[in-house]
């Protein structure tokens, strides 16, 4: 049995990797707690002597930061937080639903031709910048530009190829004999997939859901191009924290970034036990 | 228009005859329906009360009358303004008045400044009608007019006369033409006098030890730079990296560095194109401009290659350098104790340095770069109301009031802002700096306010930056940029670009026209 002890060198490398990985998070959290005078200080202020929550308050009360002489902040982030939660949650759910059905169809029933999976994936071969403007034209004609339904539609369209392919690999790895046994016991095809396939690939399902949610949550390009003031998301809102009197509001941006991290971290912790399995599921091909 | 002209004339006469004090005068005009902004401007105008009211009150009054009429007819009671993030502070003080007196709610949609142009082009395709007024930079007008997303304002300007070209209170020439017109037609109304000037640390210039050492080394007295040679000498002399104090903070970063090059190029009497829109910057003057910049690099702030305007202003405000090339907002930054703790009260400004031409004469030229303005969307439900808003906000009186508010990008652009400023304007800037802005502005050359302007600028910026980082030699960088320029011109259409370029060149300041040879272009 291989030793479970880490060699000192490997341990050191892991610590280094941990520091490199966590440093941006540390810096963002510290910046979110700094008063405006510390944002650009030279030498850099690593840990604020007088931490403040003013940056967080400014997110929802733009006038809050005036106490530090910074004016010109006009936008509350509440609409953006709501918009991101709505668009990301609904589009992720739809993407997973469509992706799962497509994955089962492709894996178990060889739907379409052999080229079908590739055709589905081809949607991801275009860079978002190249397809954003055509979408503006189409969505304008359909009167869904600057609406959450439009944003959700494009998020679903953009992520279904991923969800289909990822989930297909998990379904492929599941012996179809288990589902067939359920059907022999009298279950319909749909019930067999609901009661047998889905529980058995739940690790992969959770991992895929988190991956798709992160994609939607962090999208900038589509949200920027398709929004005209009625809808907002966090990544676009982040770019708006600039004022003529104070330049880029690093502290406020960091505060919003900290808020933006929370759902992802919570989701990660909540499904941690499934994640490891999901990430390694299908690593060994039958 | 006012119905009580006789009573107003009576008040004006009494004030001019010394029979009323300022306070009573402003109060009396207020009771007769003259806005406080106009009354205060009249009080401070050197023109005399009667003439001042007739002149500077007019654009505001005419715009307000149009706004009232258009607001009464409007079915949609919201006016939506697309603005760059960070500019709202100049506009919010007037939302209450528009709501209470006109019943119009002003709604501002903020977008990152680099996105505003794209949003306008997108609107040309999407035609959502979301925006009534849009605030792009002058470089957007050609593409926006050509794509049909904004109105040509010429007819409204003729009818309601915002007095854009008046020498005493109009927009200062040549920015009046470069930053508002496209092919001789009014495309937008300027609301931001973006030009660059040089700031120096006055405390260092007045230091007796430095004065002596400088005179000993260079053979002339220490002072603000009058020429690029003096600018270089000053950066070299003041550079003290061991004390984290650097000669200059001018930009070498992407997006900003092109302006540093364009400025030096025009100082040498070279424009960007010839009469046939062939690029001319890959000439001896262009190469010399890049070589000047390379020679200055050792005396720059170490962050020069990554500066944005805000990090640049912050570094200067912290006292990390002797000189800087800044927009007027940079002066405000270094003047305010909160943003310029090390520079407040220690700054002196000067017009952009001159260069020596082949005939030995000095050419003073400046850059009018960026410069926001108001445009009216073709898809607005209330275009007349949108125009009225633009004229009202940019009128000599309202703009004089709006510019000093914190939290906006607006800087002086009308002659009265600089030559007959209010107390608030002087407190925001300083009388000396306002005079410097005027002196610099009369010699400014515009950005690429042409069809495809952003493409030209980006192509030039990329190559100048490559040269500054050592990736390309000056000649190679400029030749590569010239090739890209030719491609852009071919793509857009040579005739279209040429027409627009000649319209810009026609309105250059005389010394620049003469030095560049543009005075002989047909």
| pLDDT-wise least confident of A233-247, B159-173, B252-266 | A233-247
For the stretch A259-279, pLDDT in tens is 999 999 998 888 887 776 666
Hey, is the C-beta of A228 within 8 angstroms of any chain B C-beta? yes
Confidence band of A231 (pLDDT split at 50, 70, 90): very high
Q: Is A122 on the interface with B (CB under 8 A)?
A: no
CA-closest candidate to residue B126, choices A220, A126, A143, A154: A143
Mean pLDDT of B2-12: 72
User: Over 90: is that where the pLDDT of B13 sits?
Assistant: no
pLDDT value at B49 more than 80: no
Measured over the CA atoms of residue B455, residue B461, residue B467 and residue B473, the dihedral's sign is positive
Q: Looking up tokens 């808003």, which residue turns up? A: B389
Among A140, A240, A246, select the one facing B126 at the smallest CB separation.
A140
Alpha-carbon gap: A33 to the closest alpha carbon of chain B (Å): 19
For B113, the closest chain A residue by CA position comes to A240
Contact B406 A245 (CB under 8 A): yes
Task: Verify whether the Cβ–Cβ distance B111 to A240 is below 8 Å.
Answer: yes
Q: Which residue has the tokens 């949607």?
A: A123
Q: What part of B 403-432 touches A (C-beta under 8 Å)? A: 406-409
* pLDDT at residue B148 is higher than 70: yes
User: Closest approach of chain B CAs to the CA of A72, in angstroms?
Assistant: 4
A224 lies within 8 A of chain B by CB: yes
In contact, B135 and B83? CB cutoff 8 Å: yes
The 3-state DSSP class for residue B361 equals coil
Instruction: Identify any residues that bridge with B347 across adjacent strands, giving them in sequence order.
Output: B201
pLDDT at B55: 63
- Which residues does chain A have within 8 Å of residue B372's beta carbon, measured at their own beta carbons? none
Helix, strand, or coil (residue B131): coil
With beta carbons under 8 A apart, name residues in chain A contacting B406: 71-72, 244-245
Distance from CA of A74 to the nearest CA of B (A): 7
A23 phi/psi in degrees, rounded to 5: -60, -45
Instruction: Give the pLDDT confidence score for residue B1 in this predicted structure.
Output: 43
Instruction: Tell me what the pLDDT averaged over chain B comes to.
Output: 93
pLDDT for residue A281 is more than 80? no
Per mean pLDDT, which range of A253-267, B47-61, B223-237 is the poorest?
B47-61
Instruction: Please give the residue of chain B at the shortest CA–CA distance from A146.
Output: B128
Highest mean pLDDT among A108-112, A281-285, B213-217: B213-217
Q: What residues of chain A lie within 8 A of the CB of B407, using their CB?
A: 71-73, 243-245
CATH 3.40.190.10 applies to domain B58-190+371-420: yes
Confidence band for B50, pLDDT divided at 50, 70 and 90: confident
Of the candidates B107, B108, B407, the beta carbon closest to that of A245 is on: B407
The two tokens of residue A197 are 């396939």
**How high is the pLDDT of residue A264?**
92
Distance from CA of B280 to the nearest CA of A (A): 33
Q: What distance in Å separates the CA atoms of residue A151 and residue A217, rounded to the nearest whole number? A: 12
Query: Does the ipTM exceed 0.85?
Result: no
pLDDT recorded at residue B20: 87
**Nearest neighbour of B128 by CB, restricted to A40, A73, A140:** A140
Is the pLDDT at A283 greater than 60, yes or no?
no
pLDDT at A176 over 70: yes
Q: Residue B351 carries which DSSP code? A: P
Question: Once rounded to an integer, what is the mean pLDDT over residues B183-197?
Answer: 97
In B, which residues are within 8 Å of A229 by CB distance? 80, 107, 109, 130
pLDDT, tens only, B240-272: 999 999 999 999 999 999 999 999 999 999 999
Q: From A247, which residue of chain B is nearest by alpha-carbon distance?
A: B310
Per-residue pLDDT, averaged over B37-46, amounts to 74
DSSP string, B192-216: ---B-EEEEEHHHHT-HHHHHHHHH
Pick the residue with more confidence: B177 or A1?
B177
Q: Which CATH code is given to the segment(s) B197-367+449-493+500-514?
A: 3.40.190.10
Question: pLDDT grade, residue A62 (50/70/90)?
Answer: confident
Q: Are B194 and B370 in contact (CB under 8 A)?
A: yes
Using a CB-CB cut-off of 8 Å, the residues of chain A touching B89 are 71-72, 243-245
Residue B169 sits at φ, ψ, to 5 deg, of: -140, 10
- The two tokens of residue B173 are 């020439």
HEC string for chain A: CCCCCCCHHHHHHHHHHHHHHHHHHHHHHHHHCCCHHHHCCCCCCCCCCCCCCHHHHHHHCHHHHHHHCCCCCCCCCHHHHHHHHHHHHHHHHHHHHHHHHHHHHHHHHCCCCCCHHHHHHHCCCCCHHHHHHHHHHHHHHCCCCCCHHHHHHHHHHHHHHHHHHHHHHHHHCCCHHHHHHHHHCCCCHHHHHHHHHHHHCHHHHHHHHHHHHHHHHCCCHHHHHHCCCCCCCHHHHHCCCEECCCEECHHHHHHHHHHHHHHHHHHHHHCHHHHHHHHHCCCCCC
In the predicted structure, residue B4 carries a pLDDT above the cut 90:
no
Query: Which residues does residue B150 pair with via DSSP β-bridges, in sequence order?
Result: B377
Give the CA count within 13 Å in the CB-facing half-sphere of A259: 25
Spans of all domains in chain A: 8-68, 78-240
Tens digits of per-residue pLDDT, A180-200?
A: 999 999 999 999 999 999 999
pLDDT at B385 > cutoff 60: yes
pLDDT digit string, tens, across residues A242-263: 887 777 899 999 999 999 999 9
Specify which of A34-48, B34-48, B140-154 reaches the highest per-range mean pLDDT: B140-154
**Residue B195 token pair:** 């030009």
Cβ–Cβ of B314/A69 closer than 8 Å? Answer: no
Higher pLDDT, A113 or B258: B258
Residue A69 is predicted with a pLDDT of 72
As annotated, the residues of chain B forming the CATH 3.40.190.10 domain(s) are: 58-190+371-420, 197-367+449-493+500-514
Query: What chain A residue is nearest to B314 in terms of C-alpha separation?
Result: A40
Whether the predicted pLDDT of A239 surpasses 80:
yes
3-state class (DSSP) for residue B137: strand
Q: What is the pLDDT of residue B17?
A: 83
Rounded to two decimals, the pTM is 0.86
What contacts B218, CB < 8 A, 6 or more positions away? B233, B237
CB proximity under 8 Å: B 327-346 to A: 329, 332, 336, 338-339
Q: Is B430 helix (H, G, I), strand (E, B) or coil?
A: coil
* pLDDT greater than 60 at residue A284: no
Q: Which residue of A has its CA nearest to B332?
A: A245
Q: Which two tokens stand for residue B185?
A: 């037609």
d(CA B271, CA B285) in angstroms, rounded, equals 10
Give the full edge-to-edge strand order of the sheet including B246-248.
Answer: B246-248, B321-326, B197-201, B347-350
Q: Does B44 touch chain A (CB under 8 A)?
A: no
Whether A142 contacts chain B with CB within 8 A:
no
Closest chain A residue to B409 measured between Cα atoms?
A: A244
Nearest chain B residue to A140 by CA distance is: B126
> Rounded CA gap, B414 and B170, in Å?
5
| Partner-chain residue, chosen from B89, B115, B309, that has the shortest CB–CB distance to A247 | B309
B309–chain A Cβ distance below 8 A for any pair: yes
Domain A78-240 has CATH 3.40.50.261: no
């Amino acid at each position: 049995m291989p030793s479970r002890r880490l060699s000192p060198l490997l341990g050191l490398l892991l610590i280094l990797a941990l520091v490199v990985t966590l440093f941006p998070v540390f810096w963002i959290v510290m910046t979110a707690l700094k008063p405006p005078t510390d944002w650009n200080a030279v030498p850099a202020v690593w840990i604020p002597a007088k931490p403040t929550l003013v940056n967080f308050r400014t997110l929802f009360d733009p006038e809050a930061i005036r106490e530090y002489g910074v004016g010109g902040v006009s936008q509350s982030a509440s609409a953006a937080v709501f918009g991101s939660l709505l668009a990301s949650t609904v589009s992720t759910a739809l993407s997973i639903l469509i992706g799962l059905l497509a994955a089962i169809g492709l894996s178990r029933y060889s739907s379409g031709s052999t080229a079908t999976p590739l055709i589905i994936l081809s949607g991801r071969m275009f860079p978002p910048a190249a397809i954003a403007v055509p979408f503006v034209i189409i969505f304008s004609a359909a009167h869904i530009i600057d609406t959450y339904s439009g944003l959700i539609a494009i998020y679903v369209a953009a992520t279904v190829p991923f969800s289909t392919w990822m989930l297909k690999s998990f379904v492929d790895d599941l012996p179809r004999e288990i589902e067939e046994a359920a059907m022999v016991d009298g279950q319909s095809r749909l019930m067999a997939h609901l009661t047998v396939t889905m529980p058995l690939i739940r690790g992969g399902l959770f991992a895929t859901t988190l991956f798709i949610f992160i994609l939607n949550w962090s999208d900038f390009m589509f949200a920027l191009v398709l929004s005209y003031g009625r809808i907002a998301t966090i990544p676009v809102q982040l770019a708006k924290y600039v004022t003529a009197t104070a330049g880029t509001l690093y502290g406020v941006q960091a505060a919003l970034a900290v808020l933006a991290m929370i759902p992802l971290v919570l989701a990660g912790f909540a499904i941690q036990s499934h994640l490891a399995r999901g990430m390694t599921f299908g690593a060994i091909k039958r | 228009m006012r119905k009580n002209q006789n009573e107003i004339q009576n008040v004006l006469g009494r004030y001019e005859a010394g029979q009323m004090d300022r306070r009573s005068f402003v109060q009396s005009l207020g009771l007769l329906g003259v806005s406080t902004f106009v009354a205060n401007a009249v009080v401070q105008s050197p023109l005399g009360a009667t003439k001042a009211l007739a002149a500077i009150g007019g654009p505001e009054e005419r715009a307000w009358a149009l706004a009232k009429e258009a607001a009464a007819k409007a079915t949609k009671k919201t006016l939506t303004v697309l603005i760059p993030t960070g500019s709202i502070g100049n506009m919010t003080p007037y939302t209450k008045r528009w709501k209470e007196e006109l019943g119009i709610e002003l709604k501002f949609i903020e977008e990152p400044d680099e996105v505003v142009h794209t949003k306008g082009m997108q609107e040309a395709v999407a035609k959502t009608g979301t925006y009534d007024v849009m605030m792009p930079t002058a470089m957007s007008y050609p593409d926006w007019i050509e794509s049909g997303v904004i109105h040509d304002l010429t007819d409204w300007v003729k009818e309601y006369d915002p007095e854009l070209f008046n020498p005493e209170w109009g927009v200062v020439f040549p920015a009046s033409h470069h930053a508002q017109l496209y092919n001789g037609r009014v495309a937008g109304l300027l609301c931001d006098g973006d030009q660059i000037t040089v700031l120096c640390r006055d405390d260092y210039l007045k230091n007796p030890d430095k004065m002596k050492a400088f005179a000993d080394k260079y053979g002339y007295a220490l002072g603000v730079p009058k020429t690029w040679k003096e600018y270089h000498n000053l950066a070299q002399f003041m550079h003290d990296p061991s004390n984290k104090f650097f000669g200059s903070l001018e930009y070498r970063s992407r997006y900003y560095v092109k302006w540093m090059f364009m400025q030096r190029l025009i100082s040498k009497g070279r424009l960007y194109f010839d009469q046939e829109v062939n690029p001319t910057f890959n000439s001896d003057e262009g190469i010399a401009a890049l070589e000047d910049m390379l020679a200055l690099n050792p005396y720059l702030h170490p962050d020069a290659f990554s500066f944005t305007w805000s990090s640049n202003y912050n570094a200067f405000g912290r006292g990390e350098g002797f000189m800087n090339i800044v927009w007027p907002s940079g002066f405000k930054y270094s003047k305010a104790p909160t943003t310029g703790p090390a520079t407040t009260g220690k700054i002196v400004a000067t017009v952009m340095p001159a260069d020596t031409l082949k005939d030995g004469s000095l050419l003073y030229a400046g850059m009018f770069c960026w410069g926001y303005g108001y445009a009216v969307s073709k898809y607005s439900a209330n275009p007349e109301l949108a125009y009225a808003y633009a004229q009202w906000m940019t009128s000599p009186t309202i703009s004089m009031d709006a510019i000093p508010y914190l939290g906006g990008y607006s800087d002086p652009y009308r002659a009265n802002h600089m030559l007959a400023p209010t107390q608030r304007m002087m407190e925001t800037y300083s009388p000396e700096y306002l005079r410097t802005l005027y002196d610099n502005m009369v010699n400014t050359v515009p950005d690429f306010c042409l069809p495809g302007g952003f493409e030209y600028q980006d192509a030039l910026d990329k190559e100048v930056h490559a040269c500054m980082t050592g990736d390309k030699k000056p000649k190679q960088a400029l030749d590569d940029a010239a090739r890209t320029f030719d491609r852009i011109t071919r793509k857009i259409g040579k005739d279209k670009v040429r027409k627009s370029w000649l319209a810009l060149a026609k309105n250059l300041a005389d010394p620049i026209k003469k030095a560049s040879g543009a005075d002989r272009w047909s």
